[in-house]
Amino acid sequence: MIDNSTASQVQLQIGGDDVYNVAPASSGLITLSGVNAADVTALKSSAALTRATDLGVTLEVTSKGYPLLPAVTFNSTISSATGANGEKYTNNTASDLSNLVGSAGAAVDVLVTTYDTFTITIGGKSATASVVGVSVGGSYTGAVARNAVATALMEAWNDKYSTGSASANMSLWTTITHGSGILTAPTLKSSASGSRGWGEEVKVAWNPASSDNVSLTTSSNATQTRMSWTIGSTDALTDNTATGRYLIVSVEEAVAGNGKAAPVTTATLTTNVGAITETGMAATSGSTAFRLVTNLTGYGTSAANTTTSANIFPTDARGDVVTYQAEEEGINVTTGTARFTRTRR
């Protein structure tokens, strides 16, 4: 995995031969731009793929490393202006809401009660919370309501999935922070988890209080609650998922290593500040590129083959790394007499 915001050059060798020893990088060095899409194109050119194949390996390059989740911003007001009503409302429904509460199209304060419940879901893992007020059955508006919802969801997530919490090993993501209604998304528990978490979605769901409870908590001044939020930088749903930050370069032998306990090919990836040499299970790492491993799963009779019923191993690069096999480990089917059952009394 390469941090291309720092690394500016990459050299990849297979058995001492340069993969990029083709035009325009006849020196064997590829210059990085720091722009993920451009760098993937440069490192995964058709010439490089062909040369890698000629050298006996399959080359793959992606920009899915060390993903970053979008933040969630809760609003204190809702209006019909574009970009001012979040993902819950459209310009038209925000205008209708304003007219409904007697504001004649002007911006209205958000309103929540302790009977409203909110759920945040990150990568399929959810935490649910209600606003906790000074007294049971309270209602809150504007910035107070916005901050209360953000705080409640932050605490609910952290209590459940943050590092050291009850279900910490079931989520790739660690602690959420909050300020002025903005939930700063949790980061990966480990950068060594590679591309795991890439594309995982952040969702917010809201179960509004009943009209009777809203009327009760607002002394009949309102009959419905209202809340607005934005995930990512826009109201669109297209920026609600985790995006990659680093490059991942993977090399896989085209022919298995003849049943040996380690690969026969030596691969070296060098950046301008360090090198990784892969020979079996040993590797050294430079400061802007490092090797991804799965250190909690093994092969054969390894005791590290543990159940994942209570642990998804969030610090492992299981989506990127394939542990080599000492021998064929598939399902062996032999011929024989078909099984049958018999009942006797």
pLDDT digits (tens, 9 = 90+) for 168-227: 889 999 999 999 999 998 999 988 888 999 999 999 999 999 999 999 988 888 899 999
Alpha carbon 102 to its chain's center: 42
Tokens of 89: 């409302």
- Per-residue HEC secondary structure of the chain comes to CECCCCCCEEEEEECCEECCCCCCCCCCCEECCCCHHHHHHHHCCHHHHHHHHHCCEEEEEEEEECCECCCEEECCEECCCCCCCCCCCCHHHHHHHHHHCCCCCCCEECEEECCCEEEEEECCEEEEEECCCCCCCCEEEHHHHHHHHHHHHHHHHHHHHCCCCCCHHHCCECCCEEECCEEECCCECCHHHCCCCCCCEEEEEEECCCHHHHHHHCCCCCCCCECCEEECCCCCHHHCECECCEEEEEEEECCCCCCCCCCCCCEEEEECCEEEEEECCECCCECCECCCCCCCCCCCCCCCCCCCCCCCCCCCCCCCCCCCCCCCCCCCCCCCCCCCCCCCC
Binned at pLDDT 50, 70 and 90, residue 280 comes out as very low
107 Rama sector, left if φ>0, alpha if ψ -120 to 50, beta otherwise: beta
Whether pLDDT at 154 is above 90: yes
Strand-pairing partners, residue 276, are 269
Binned at pLDDT 50, 70 and 90, residue 33 comes out as very high
| Under 8 Å between Cβ of 198 and 214 | no
Mean pLDDT of the chain: 83
pLDDT digits (tens, 9 = 90+) for 245-256: 999 998 888 776
Q: What is the rounded average pLDDT of the residues 9-25?
A: 82
Tokens of 312: 């998804």
pLDDT digits (tens, 9 = 90+) for 78-127: 999 988 999 999 999 999 999 988 788 789 999 999 999 999 999 999 99
The pLDDT assigned to 253 comes to: 80
300 versus 3: which is more confidently predicted?
Answer: 3
Binned at pLDDT 50, 70 and 90, residue 310 comes out as confident
What distance in Å separates the CA atoms of residue 308 and residue 297, rounded to the nearest whole number? 10
What distance in Å separates the CA atoms of residue 292 and residue 254, rounded to the nearest whole number? 20
Whether pLDDT at 244 is above 50: yes
Handedness of CA 103, 109, 113, 117 (dihedral sign): positive
User: Is the bond leading into 24 cis (omega within 30 degrees of zero)?
Assistant: yes
Give every CB contact of residue 264 below 8 A, 6+ residues apart in sequence.
Answer: 253, 257, 258
What distance in Å separates the CA atoms of residue 116 and residue 214, rounded to the nearest whole number? 9
Whether pLDDT at 312 is above 60: yes
Tokens of 134: 């000074």
The pLDDT assigned to 345 comes to: 62
User: Rounded to two decimals, what is the model's pTM?
Assistant: 0.82
Tokens of 338: 């078909």
What distance in Å separates the CA atoms of residue 153 and residue 186, rounded to the nearest whole number? 12
The pLDDT assigned to 275 comes to: 62
Q: 219 — phi, psi (to 5°)?
A: 55, 45
Whether pLDDT at 320 is above 70: yes
Tokens of 255: 């022919």
Q: What is the rounded average pLDDT of the residues 286-297?
A: 54
Q: 85 vs 79, 106, 139, CA distance in Å?
A: 6, 12, 21
What distance in Å separates the CA atoms of residue 140 and residue 109, rounded to the nearest whole number? 10
